[in-house]
Structure 1
Amino acid sequence: MTLSEFEIRRCEKLVAEFISKRRPPPHIRPQLDLAFRINGQSIEIFEVRPDWRDKNRTLEQPVAKATYNKRKLNWKILWQRADLKWHSYQPRPEVTSVEEFLDVVEHDEYGCFFG
């Protein structure tokens, strides 16, 4: 089940504020930027870079993901390992709000999200 329109707008606002604080300076953004998308019940934060083989294409490198579970009323926090699969973020695998998710990503105890 997907998020409601109200929940999507709220998530967009919160994540956009988080992204705007972490984005690199404007002169670096053509080479490295930060973005997000909301798809279904998931929020994904990712880096955007030009493809080194074809500068007209861009590549997305996942940073963090949160998926909402309406039955449990919580968000599952995930990070992508070198095997390109999403794994539970073990220091804090679940939170109850988007704000908590963004706080976990910001503090990143184990260096899983931004290295």
Structure 2
Amino acid sequence: MAFTDTEITEHMQVLEESFWSRRRPPLHLRDKVREGQRFTDQSIELFFVRPAFMRPGEQSEESIAKIQHLPRLRVWRLFWKRADGRWHRYKPCPEVASLAAVLRVIDQDANACFFG
């Protein structure tokens, strides 16, 4: 079942307060680089949109992380995109109890999986 409009609003507030407010590109780059999130079913994908390398005038999405909510288990699962282009579970911390907690794990990026 997909997130409800109320849940999306709540999650957007948590995303802004716990993550984007610290990870947003600097003011002088915001006309070129912007943050984004995509809600699909019970998942949230975080990404940056920036100019495409060697393709003037084109934009490309750079994935940061994918977060999957499992309401029955009351957990959030964390995924990162490897060089193979597929999402893989983030083994150092595969599940957490809240959206704010999973955003802290991404922000800390202890293994340099999300921000290189």
TM-score normalised over the length of structure 1: 0.89
The aligned counterpart of 2:59 is 58
Answering whether residue 87 of structure 2 is matched by residue 86 of structure 1, we say yes
Identity across aligned pairs (percent)?
39
1:28 maps to a residue whose letter is L
* Aligned residues of 1:19 and 1:35 also touching (Cα < 8 A): no
> Could you tell me how far apart the structure 2 residues matched to 1:105 and 1:95 are?
12
The aligned counterpart of 2:35 is 34
Q: Tell me the CA shift for residue 41 of structure 1.
A: 1.1
The total of aligned residue pairs comes to 115
5+ unaligned residues in a row in structure 2: which ranges?
none
The aligned counterpart of 1:8 is 8
TM-score normalised over the length of structure 2: 0.89
More displaced 10-residue stretch of structure 1: 50-59 or 82-91: 50-59
RMSD: 1.5
Q: Tell me the CA shift for residue 35 of structure 1.
A: 2.1
> Could you tell me how far apart the structure 2 residues matched to 1:114 and 1:108 are?
7
Map Cα deviations across residues 73-101 of structure 1 (whole Å, 9 max, x no partner). Answer: 21110000000000000110011110011
* Aligned residues of 1:79 and 1:86 also touching (Cα < 8 A): yes
